A and B are shown apart, each in its own frame.
Chain A
Amino acid sequence: MKEFKFDTLVIGGGSAGMAAALEVSRRGFTVAVAERENSMGGILNQCIHNGFGLHHFKEELSGPAYAEKFIDMVETSNIEVFIDMTVMDIEETGDLKYAYGLSKLTGMIKFCVKTVVFANGCRERNRGSIGTPGTRPSGVFTAGLAQRLVNMEGYIPGKECVIVGSGDIGLIMARRMTWVGAKVKAVIEIQSYPAGLTRNIVQCLNDFDIPLYLSHVVGEIHGKDRVESIDVIPLKKGIEQKDKTFNIKCDSLLLAVGLVPDNELIQKIGISINPETNGPIVDRQLMTAKNGIFACGNVLHVHDLVDFVTEESERCGRYVSNYLDKKIPAEQFRSIPGQNVKYLVPNYYSPINENKFYLRTMVVKNRAELIVKVNDKEILRKKLKHIQPSEMISFSIPGGTVDCISECRDNTLEVHIV
C-alpha cells in the first residue's frame, strides 16, 4: 500500500474542494485533492444552464464554465489531484490523520496528513425520504439523476413527466425536459409558494405553459412495471383534501425534493451532526469537533448558489492555513438560532474577530428584520426586504462589535428574525 504525506487532504474536487485547496496551496502548504469522479468539477459538470458566477466572477456562466475557471487554477498550482479516488476511512493518531482512499489507478493509498477538509457535497432526497406511497415501478428518478442522464449521457428518461418540487433544480429540469421534446405535465409543490427563484418560474415554467400546482402532494404512484400515472391531492391549510384527488397520466416522475449533506464518512469517524443541517457542527474556523478536520460547501449545509460555496470554502482554506501555521484561535462562544431561524452556520463565534454567518429562516415574510443578541444585548439589526426558507441569508459581525462579554454569562450569540 502506497503512502503519501501532505499538509492537507481535501475530500471532493467540486466547487468547495477546489476553492479550499487553492487557498491552502497559495499559503505554501502541500495539498492533495481526492475526487471520486474521473474529473474535477463535481455537480457543476451536469449543470449546463446559465446563472452561475454572478457574485463571484460578476458574469453569468454555465456550471461547467464556472468549474473550468477553478480547474484551470488547480492545474497550474502545486495541488496534487487524485481522480477516481474514493476515501473509505480516516484514522487519527495524535495530531496526524490517516485517510485511506482507493482508485483503480493507484490501489489503496494511505494519506498521512495534518488536516482534512470535507468538501464532498450533498445528495438528493428521494422517494424514501418523502415516503411517497404506491407501487414501485421503473420511471421514478431524482431530478439530479435525470439531469445527468440528459446532459451527460444524452438519454431522455421519459416522454411524459411530472416533476415533484418547485426548487430551482425542479424548475430547470422542467425546462430541460421540454427542450429535448418531453411533455412536462405538471410541477407539484407541497408549499403554498414556489421554492425556486422567480426568474426560474418565468423562464422555466411560464414560457413553456407548464402548470405549477402549489399546495399539492403526490398521493400515490400507479403502474406495475413502469410509472403509468400519479394521484395528486390538493392541500387546504396543510390538510389533504382526498375527495379532490385527481390523476395525471405520465411515464416518469422526477423528484426534486431537496438535498442533504453527504455526511456518511463524517458520522462514521464520530463527528457530531447538526440535526437541522445534517452537516457537522463547526466552530468559527469551520473546524469540526475533531481537531484539524474541517468542512465547507454543501457537506456543511446545502447552499443556494455556488458563489456562496466558493466564498465559504476559500475562507475555510484560510482557516486551515492558520491552523497549519499553528495560530492559536481566539476564544469562542456558541452561536444559536433564535426566533424563526432554522439553522445558523457556524455554531461558534469569536468576539474579537469578524464572524460570517449563513442561515435559513423558517418563515416567508416581506420587510423582516434580523436581530443579533449576546447576553440579551442587541449587537446588530439588519433590514431584509423579503425572506423565505429556500433563500439562504448571510451577514457578518465585524470584529470587536460584541462588547458585552461577561464572565458570569454564557455569552451565547442568538440570531432572531422578526
Chain B
Amino acid sequence: MKEKIFDIAIIGAGVVGASIARKLSSYNLKIALLEKECDVSFGVSKANSGIIHGGFHHGSEYLKSKLEVQGNRMFDQLEQELHFPFRRCGIIVVAFSFEEMKTVEHLFMNGIANKVVGIEMCNRRRILALEPKLNTDVIGGLYAPAGGIIEPYRFVFSLVESALKNGVELFTEFKVVSAEKNDHAFKIFSESGAVVDSKWVVNASGLFADEISNIFKAEKFKITPRKGEEFLLDRNSAARTDHVIFPVPDSVSKGILVIPTVEGTTMLGPTAIPQDSKEDVSTSSLNLDMVFSSARKIVPSISQRDIITSFTGLRPALESGDFYIDISEKQAHFIQVAGIQSPGLTAVPAIAEYVKDLLKKDGLVLTEKSSYDPEIDKLPRMRTLHPEEADALIKTNPAFGEIVCRCESVSEAEIVAAVRHGHTTLDGIKFYTRAQMGRCQGGFCTDRIIKIIQRETGLSYEEITKRGKNSWLIKDRIGDLKVNSYRGIQ
C-alpha cells in the first residue's frame, strides 16, 4: 500500500497554524494540520487577550509591525466569511504625566510611519469624551479607531472549520517527537506512533517552536515563555469601558489593559513575567493586587467583587522581540513561523499570506482550487436573537429552545453543534459555545453538558475530560467504591 504523502504538514493548530492551513486550502494542495492537544486552539491561542491591535506599538523596522497593520485590515472580510465575534471598538492609550504624553507622541509617530488610518492624538477633554469611565487625572492620550476585539479561540475554530471544509486533514493528539527525511519528503512521527509524510513542513508550534526546529535539525533558537495572567469580570460590571484601554507601555510589555471583551465581559491584564516552564500556567495571588491596582489607576470603578475567574497564558517570545518567519537555511522545505507573540493574533491573516509567498519562493507550486469556498455556516446564538427570530428558530429545531448554560444563554443546539464539529471536551465546548464561561463557571450546566456529550458521541462518563489527557471528571458511580466503616455508618 502506498502511503499518502502530503504537500504540507503544519505543526500546531493554534491561530497561526490554522490561519496558514486555511490560506493554503484555497490551492490544490494536500495539507495536514498536526496538533498535540486533543482539540485545536488549546495552547497559546486560548488564553489570548483577543485584541486586534492598532499598529502603533512598534516601529516600522519590525516585521511584526508591517504584518500587524496588514492583518488588521483583513479582519472585516474574515469576519464576513467566518462569523467569529469581532468588533472594531477602537483602542485608547492614556497618559497621566507629561513624560507619558511624550511616549504617546512616540506611539503616534509609529502609527504614522506604519501607515495606520485614523490614528489621532487626544487632549484631556477629547479622551474623556471618548471614554467617560477613565480616571479624570488623565491628561491626554492616543486614539486608534481601527483597533478592535475578537474571541481568539472562536476565530481559530472558524479558521479550522473552513480549512477542513476545503480539504485540510486535522490530526489531534499528534505530538511530534521525531522526524526523518528521505528523498523529498519528511516522515513525521507522533508520540503515540502515528506517522504523517509530507514534502514541506511549517513550524507553527508556538511555545515549542524551538524544540520542533531541533527535531527537524533546523535553526537553533530559544523560545522564552512570558507569562500573562488575566482576570475576567462579570458582564454586569459597572467598569466595562467602550474601548480597549492601554496604559503607556514600558520596555517589556504593553502594560495592564482594560479590555471590554466582544462577548460583554471585561478583562484585565495581562501581566508579563518571563519563566522557564512551557507548561506552568498557574495563577498567583500576588498578581491579583498588582493587576487591580494598575487597572484601577486607569478606570477607578473596577472592583474585585466582579471577578468571575482568572487564567494564565504564555507568550512564545524570541530574544529579538520580532517574529521569525522564514525559509530555513539549514533544512530544506522547512518554514519557520516562530516568536509569534503580540501582536500575533492581529497579524495572522498577513502571516498566512507571507508564509504562502515563502512556500512559493521555496518551489511549491500553487494553483487556485476552483472548489474553494471561503464561507462557513453561521451558527445562530440564542443570546443575540430577538424574540421573533428565536421563536422561528426553535420551530426549526426545538433544541434551540433548551437553555443549558443560563449565565451565557447557550442552547442545547449550540452545544450539539460544538460536539458535531469535534469539540468533545468540556473546555472545547466552553470555548466554542461559551457554556460554563459565565458567572457560575459551569456550576449549573456541567452535568447537563456531560449528558449531551455522552448522547452525541457514545462516550462513557469515564471517557469525558475537561481538556483531554488525564483531565478526567468522573471515574466511579455509586456502588463502585468500598465504603469504610465509621461511627456515622451503622
Contacts and interface: CB of A to CB of B under 8 A. Distances in A.
B488 interface: yes
Given A156-B478, A181-B480, A104 B399 contact: yes
**Listed residue (B305, B395, B484) with the most chain A CB atoms within 10 angstroms of its CB:** B484
Interface string A136-171: 111101101100111011111101000000000000
Contacts of A1: 387-388, 391
B466 A138 contact: yes
B340 interface: no
A365 interface: no
Nearest to B483: A181
Contact of B402 (A84, A175, A180): A84
B183 interface: no
Interface stretch (B155-163, B306-314, B328-336): B306-314
A102 B439 contact: no
Interface stretch (A69-77, A126-134, A389-397): A126-134
B401 A134 contact: no
A123 B488 contact: no
Contacts of A377: none
Given A86-B403, A108-B394, A159-B476, A100 B387 contact: yes
A220 B444 CA distance: 25
Contacts of B80: none
A62 interface: no
B482 A207 contact: no
Interface string B389-405: 01100110011111100
Given A124-B440, A156-B474, A264-B407, A107 B401 contact: yes
Interface stretch (B174-182, B247-255, B276-284): B276-284
Contacts, number: 182
Interface of A is mostly: mixed
Contact of B447 (A135, A148, A179, A264): A148
B471 A182 contact: no
Contacts of B442: 145
A36 B391 contact: no
Contacts of B466: 137-138, 225
B63 to A, nearest CB: 33
A135 B307 contact: no
Contacts of A267: 236
A246 interface: no
Interface in B456-490: 461, 465-478, 480-484, 486-489
Nearest to A240: B285
Interface in A44-98: 84, 86, 88-89
Interface string A218-247: 001100111000000000000000000000
Nearest to B309: A128
B285 A123 contact: no
B232 interface: yes
B5 interface: no
Given A225-B471, A226-B470, A264-B236, A209 B486 contact: yes
Contacts of B309: 126-128
B377 to A, nearest CB: 21
Contacts of B487: 206-209
A126 B472 CA distance: 20
Interface centre among A126, A206, A267, by most B CB within 10 Å?
A126
Contacts of A225: 465-472
Given A84-B402, A226-B470, A145 B446 contact: yes
Given A104-B401, A138-B471, A180 B481 contact: yes
A178 B483 CA distance: 7
B310 A128 contact: yes
Interface in A183-220: 183, 203-204, 206-209, 220
Nearest to A222: B282
B474 A126 contact: no
A322 interface: no
A131 B474 contact: no
Contacts of B402: 84, 103-104
B279 A224 contact: yes
Interface string A100-120: 101111111010000000000
B481 A102 contact: no
Contacts of B426: 138
Given A36-B406, A104-B401, A137-B471, A128 B388 contact: no
Nearest to B482: A181
Interface in B427-446: 439-444, 446
B476 A156 contact: yes
A126 B388 contact: no
B471 A123 contact: no
Contacts of B312: 136
A359 B478 CA distance: 40
A108 B441 contact: no
Nearest to B489: A179
Given A148-B447, A220-B282, A264-B439, A178 B488 contact: yes
Given A88-B409, A128-B232, A152-B447, A207 B440 contact: no
Contacts of B478: 150, 154-156, 180
B417 interface: no
A326 B471 CA distance: 58
B288 interface: yes
Nearest to A88: B409
Nearest to B307: A128
A131 B481 contact: no
A67 B328 CA distance: 69
B285 A136 contact: no
B374 to A, nearest CB: 33
A102 B401 contact: yes
Interface string B366-402: 0000000000000000100001101100110011111
Contact of A182 (B305, B399, B481): B481
Which 5 A-B residue pairs are closest in the complex by CB-CB distance? Answer: A181-B481, A207-B488, A128-B309, A108-B391, A138-B466
Interface of A: 1, 36, 84, 86, 88-89, 100, 102-108, 110, 123-124, 126-129, 131, 133-139, 141-142, 144-145, 148-150, 152-157, 159, 175, 178-183, 203-204, 206-209, 220-221, 224-226, 262, 264, 267-268, 275
22 contacts: A1-B388, A102-B401, A104-B399, A107-B395, A124-B443, A126-B309, A126-B440, A134-B282, A136-B283, A139-B473, A141-B446, A149-B474, A150-B478, A155-B478, A179-B489, A181-B476, A182-B481, A207-B487, A207-B488, A208-B489, A225-B466, A226-B472
Given A159-B481, A181-B480, A208-B488, 8 more contacts: A103-B402, A104-B412, A136-B312, A145-B446, A149-B447, A156-B475, A175-B488, A179-B489
Interface of B: 232, 235-236, 279-285, 288, 304-305, 307-312, 382, 387-388, 390-391, 394-395, 398-403, 406-407, 409, 412, 426, 439-444, 446-447, 461, 465-478, 480-484, 486-489
